[in-house]
Structure 1
Amino acid sequence: MPIIQTITGRSRDLGGFSVSRVLPAPARRTLGPFVFFDEMGPADFPAGQGIDVRPHPHIGLATVTYLFAGGLTHRDSLGTVIDIAPGAVNWMTAGRGITHSERSPTALREAGHHMHGIQSWVALPVAHAEDAPAFVHHPADTLPVVGLPGARLTIIAGTMFGATSPVRFPHPIIYAELHLRAGASLALDPAWGEIGVYPITGAAHVDGSALTPGSLAVVEGAATLTANTPLHAMILGGAPFAEPRIIEWNFVSHSRDRITQAETDWRAGDFPQVPGETEFIPLPETPPKPQPRVDYP
């Protein structure tokens, strides 16, 4: 059976904004380098309302924001200020430590807007966990698009079907947005490593096993994804790490001591600050288990 596991997203209401948390889950903590995967929305914000994620820290990971609708203004301790639009990629490498905030852009907040997208984290390899923090933005028109019979893929990270994303990540990874026409099929390559298919809308199956929108299907071995109706989905995964990862709040590391040090540094105010912002999210003192503490949006 190609589908070896199905992970259903767990709904979390963040004050009128629905998030479906898929990874980490009790049944599976990681998929390739992915340690966190949330579907944000869909949600409609009336005029005057939006998302306000106060400054908070990260270590040991890269955050990946990919939107289908709406927008977010990203600010970080490197001095970056940039809006992300649907189809573009914000890729923030935390390395040894970064602080950032995410808020609804002023124009969208004033007008009211529809919001929908994916927020994910990928763990950095141990050799790169303490790299200098960095931020890159890739507009939608810089991402390669692969056209196959009945299929259209935007390659967000890694190499798939002969196309390579401009995102640079020091570990084998795959990540793509897929639109598949009803009746069309797509071969899933076991050479990609661990593979997950996350349907957003539409009905589909992998070698006869049905997929459920909002649930991550983990696929093993050579398999074929076939759409029963027009399908919108994400494909993600890559090579797993040899070392397990610890996730506490917004910190990721292979070392418990490193997590403890990051918590101490945030309490003491020793992380770099986001220029022009004085708010911050305090470190929660009683983290729920086994899930990480996450304070966005």
Structure 2
Amino acid sequence: MKKLLTALPPLLVICLLSLGTPAFAATWTDYNLVAHALGGIDQKAYTNSYEAFETNYEKGQRIFEVDLQFTSDGYLIGRHDWSTYAFQSLGQALTPAVTGGPLTLADMKEMTMFDKYHALEFSEIIDLMHEYPDAYFITDTKSTDKNTITAQFNEIVKLANEDPYLLKRIIPQIYNESMYSTIEKVFPFESYIYTLYQTNDSNQKVLQFVKSHPKITAVTMPEWRANANFVSSLKKINKLSFVHTINDPEVMAKYKARGVYGFYTDFVTPDDLKVYYAKKAQEAAAKSAKAAASKTSGKKA
């Protein structure tokens, strides 16, 4: 690539290099599937692993939700939680160090999941963002403690070198109203998601809050909350609605009929949805043709 560039006129070189910025990429809202915990791999969920990202990127996913926790020595790493159950469910041995609290980064990097998947520290996620300029990352940082939130997002911004082109591809999830202002004091991110799994606020209160904050682009909710009324109300104020975590195209179609825009998923890919809707279209066409044939034969009789 370097030899090719040196052979080109300087102005053309500048133009070509400018194409390397993420400015040409689609925005994250152009996609309606979110790879939950970087997506499932080999029918296993919640790995937040390098291999999960690579596998799901190859399958066409472009938005990746990642669980983030601090290690005991202060590094941000892809991890749902530090419970003994989390270690067991990821095929990790319960060593004397596993006591329900965070481990060191070195311990986590040495401890693979299911003997083959590797944890990602956030600096490596930044590397992936450089390598894959059309990939977006939604944070699931878990904590509602103000000091922890501030530390987490200070680390995210620092590791991104305050690069606005990178940070516009990071979409923080907030869990309550106060978290929005806490993050904004660290860095004014371009877009936010209000995820409702940790709040007891009424739908009306959520609507009022997101309406008054234009940078909150979407609201993510569990299935029980995704009624047609709430989804419709969000759409009226130009907010996207997402439902988590759905692994069946048929269920997705049910919520889509209610007006839901997108879904967090472990295993459903863009191709899966194309196949599903193509099959439904064929079934509808066959049903229509059968009805027309029946109508014609009735007239002849």
Higher-strand-fraction structure: 1
| TM-score, normalised by the number of residues in structure 1 | 0.27
Give the number of the structure whose alpha-carbon radius of gyration is greater. 2
Structure that is richer in helix per residue: 2
* Higher-RCO chain (CA-CA 8 Å, sequence separation at least 6): 1
